[in-house]
Structure 1
Amino acid sequence: MNILETPPISIVRRNHGIEHATVHILTARHPNLSLIGRADAQGFFIYGAVKTEELKTAAREAIARLQNGEANLAVHPR
């Protein structure tokens, strides 16, 4: 088994991908929005001027889109 596939590394990598996808979606909606994200084994944090409900909606959309094959969302362009 590859070391990157072992918990907790694989869990952090998954959460990091969801974090990037969430930021990707939010900055597509708000191009001038400045955000910072941090992922760990429990999930991820987004720091910036974004409302909680909009963040939740973007995170749910990010998960759905990643599950539907949009792996490119896991790599944020900035």
Structure 2
Amino acid sequence: MEAKEIKDKLNLLIEQAAEIDPNLTTKLRDINRWIKHIKLGSLISKPIVVAFLLEVITDSKVWLAIKSLPSEEDKRLQF
């Protein structure tokens, strides 16, 4: 995955998390602030950092999917 794609996905996740989980939004913004000014070539040349970012993106997607599911109470209210 390209560095530009990673940064774009991170920004998209920040937008999605703002609606679902404000704590995750804060953490993702901190990570984004950390990589914001790193040149794209420099980012790709650090495989451990790229692996970390890909893991954060994957975990965040799963977390947001779980948090967006209706709770048991919501399910009971629907019936």
TM-score (norm 1): 0.34
From the two aligned structures, give the one with the greater helix fraction: 2
From the two aligned structures, give the one with the greater strand fraction: 1
TM-score (norm 2): 0.34
